[in-house]
Amino acid sequence: MNEMTATAETGLETYRHWIDGAETDPEGGDWIESVDPYADAPWARVPRGAKADVDRAVAAAHRAMTTGPWATMSPSARAKVMRRIGDIVAEHAERLARIEVRDNGKLMSEMHGQTKYHPEWWWYFAGLADKMEGGVVPIDKPDHFAFTTHEPVGVVGALTAWNSPLLFIAWKCAPALAAGCAVVVKPSEFTSASTLEFAKLTKEAGLPDGVFNVVTGLGPEVGAALVEHPDVAKITFTGSDSTGRMIYQQAAKTLKRVSLELGGKSPNIVFEDADLDAAAAGAVSGIFAATGQTCIAGSRLLVQNSIKDKLTEKLVELARTAKIGDPMAPDTNIGPVTTPPQYRKILDYIEIAKGEGARLIAGGGPSDVGPNFVQPTIFTDVRNDMRIAQEEVFGPVLSIIGFDDEAEAVELGNGVIYGLAAGVWTKDIARAHRMAKALKAGTVWINTYRAISYMMPFGGMKQSGLGRESGVDAIREYLETKAVWISTSDAPPGNPFVMR
For residue 9, the model assigns a pLDDT of 54
pLDDT 10s digits, 378-404: 999 999 999 999 999 999 999 999 999
Question: Interhelix angle for 93-104 vs 75-91, to 10°?
Answer: 70
8 Å CB contact between 400 and 301 = yes
pLDDT 10s digits, 296-307: 999 999 999 999
Of 307, 78, 291, 285, the residue nearest 202 (C-alpha) = 78
Q: Is the pLDDT of residue 3 over 60?
A: no
Report the run of H or E that residue 45 belongs to, with start and end.
strand 41-47
What is residue 53's DSSP assignment?
Answer: H
Catalytic residue numbers read 261, 295
Give the number of other CB atoms < 10 A from CB of residue 427. 11
pLDDT 10s digits, 217-226: 999 999 999 9
8 Å CB contact between 396 and 365 = no
How many secondary structure helices (H) and strands (E) does the chain include? 17, 23
pLDDT 10s digits, 327-346: 999 999 999 999 999 999 99
8 Å CB contact between 323 and 334 = yes
For residue 10, the model assigns a pLDDT of 66
| Average pLDDT value for residue range 422-426 | 98
| Average pLDDT value for residue range 425-452 | 98
pLDDT 10s digits, 120-160: 999 999 999 999 999 999 999 999 999 999 999 999 999 99
Separation CA 333–CA 326 (nearest Å) = 9
For residue 11, the model assigns a pLDDT of 86
State the pairing for strand pair 359-362/212-214: unpaired
Q: Is the pLDDT of residue 5 over 60?
A: no
Average pLDDT, the chain: 96
CATH fold of 8-262+464-482 reads Aldehyde Dehydrogenase; Chain A, domain 1 (3.40.605)
| Average pLDDT value for residue range 61-85 | 97
pLDDT 10s digits, 206-253: 999 999 999 999 999 999 999 999 999 999 999 999 999 999 999 999
pTM of the entire predicted model: 0.95
For residue 206, the model assigns a pLDDT of 98
CATH class entry, domain 267-446: alpha beta
pLDDT 10s digits, 449-500: 999 999 999 999 999 999 999 999 999 999 999 999 999 999 887 888 988 8
For residue 500, the model assigns a pLDDT of 80
- Lowest mean pLDDT: which of 3-7, 37-41, 89-93, 350-354? 3-7
Q: What percent of the chain has pLDDT over 70?
A: 98
Separation CA 500–CA 257 (nearest Å) = 31
Of 353, 375, 372, the residue nearest 364 (C-alpha) = 375
- Give residue limits of the domains in the chain: 8-262+464-482, 267-446
| Cα 280–Cα 171–Cα 84 angle in degrees, nearest 5 | 120
Band (pLDDT 50/70/90 cuts) for residue 2 is: very low
Dihedral, CA of residue 112, residue 115, residue 117 and residue 118, to nearest 10: 170
Q: What percent of the chain has pLDDT over 90?
A: 95
